[in-house]
Amino acid sequence: METGLIGLSLSGKTTIFNTLTGHSASTAPHSGGKKEANIAEIQVPDERVDRLSEIFNPKKKVYATCIFKDLNLDFTPEGGISAASIAEIRNLTAVAIVIRAYEDEGVPHPLESIDPVRDLKKILDSLVFSDYEVTEKRMERLEKEGKKGSREFSYLQKISEHLSAGKLLGTGFLTEDEMKLFSGFAFITAKPMIVVANSGEAAKGVAELEAAAGEFDLTFFSLQGALEMEIAQLPGEDQADFLKDAGLSEPAITRFLRMIYDSLNLISFLTVGEDEVRAWSIRKQTVAQKAAGKIHTDLEKGFIRAEVIHYDEFMTMGNMSEAKKQGKLRLEGKEYIVQDGDIMNIRFNV
């Protein structure tokens, strides 16, 4: 799962990347030439993994992970996002649009004034246009091949009309079947998108930005980039005091991950044993056989059954043999819908 941070230059993308990852990638009040993207894989803290590890004492304790990318977008002279950058965005699972809402005379704004709603619309326009272009190209192609009567063409027409009205595809516009049909297009505006308000000490237009995000049906997240980055870079034990002083109950990463899990509909299941205690993230509504495939393709192919006990119930038993003795391990088939906190053991043969 890759979440990319995109936004106008100097909006605070790298600052927020550092805030979420604890890294110290360089930030500057001026944009300098073409830079590499910053990438980090972070572990998703999970108390269940910690408690289960105390019980199983495994050789390895593995948390679910989440990848953050700070894309260094290129813009065209007209202010749109370049084709190369659009291609990078298409590969992401989720897109976090960083919008500058902090005032600071020491940092220039590429559009010369602080106007978060304008900036959001500018970025969204660019993304909508890129999806529109892909759609039109494909339609032209189908037309040339004499396939105007095809099912695909009529879907594309519907999509094209929607986009040309300036609307995002969103996560609800395409049905699941259409999503499958068009998965190769990797429509950007059909990805989960989050508006991240980078509101500093002197913030401007945050409420208006939140309202605009709501109009587009986008998840909204707000943080104080510069300040929270400094806190995230402190040694763990010092962070709590500084957070409290700043009136924040939790670090930005905790808030952000909760929001990401929510907007991507993610849950975690667990596997336990002497070798490894581990959390795996999957989408809600994933069936047991598919979830097994997350661990290894052999487990999906040769899936027989899953032995399942929910974490909460397991904790009341304290260990696996007690859970077995009391008949608390359920046997579930391949269609079983895995629940958040399920401890699973997959039986399979290859």
| Residues near Mg ion (CB under 5 A) | 13-14
Beta strands 38-43 and 94-100, pairing class: unpaired
Nearer to ligand GTP, 13 or 278 (CB): 13
**CB of residue 4 vs ligand GTP: minimum separation in angstroms?**
13
**CB of residue 73 vs ligand GTP: minimum separation in angstroms?**
7
Q: In sequence order, which residues have a C-beta less than 8 Å from that of residue 83 and are 6 or more positions away?
A: none
Nearer to Mg ion, 56 or 75 (CB): 75
Q: Which residues bind ligand GTP (CB under 6 A)?
A: 7, 9-15, 27-29, 31, 72, 102, 104, 107, 198, 200, 224-226
Q: Residue 289: name its binding partner from ligand GTP, Mg ion, none (Cβ under 5 to 8 Å by kind).
A: none
Q: Where are the beta strands (DSSP E) in the chain?
A: 2-6, 38-43, 60-62, 65-70, 94-100, 193-198, 219-223, 266-271, 276-283, 303-310, 330-332, 342-348
Q: In sequence order, which residues have a C-beta less than 8 Å from that of residue 55 and are 6 or more positions away?
A: 272, 318, 319
Q: Are 88 and 4 in contact (CB under 8 A)?
A: yes
Using the 8-state DSSP alphabet, how is residue 183 labeled?
G
**CB of residue 103 vs ligand GTP: minimum separation in angstroms?**
7
Nearer to Mg ion, 13 or 278 (CB): 13
Nearer to Mg ion, 6 or 156 (CB): 6
Of the chain, the end-to-end C-alpha distance in Å amounts to 28
Q: Residue 102: name its binding partner from Mg ion, ligand GTP, none (Cβ under 5 to 8 Å by kind).
A: ligand GTP
Structure tokens at 139: 């339609």
Q: Residue 67: name its binding partner from Mg ion, ligand GTP, none (Cβ under 5 to 8 Å by kind).
A: none
Q: Residue 85: name its binding partner from ligand GTP, Mg ion, none (Cβ under 5 to 8 Å by kind).
A: none
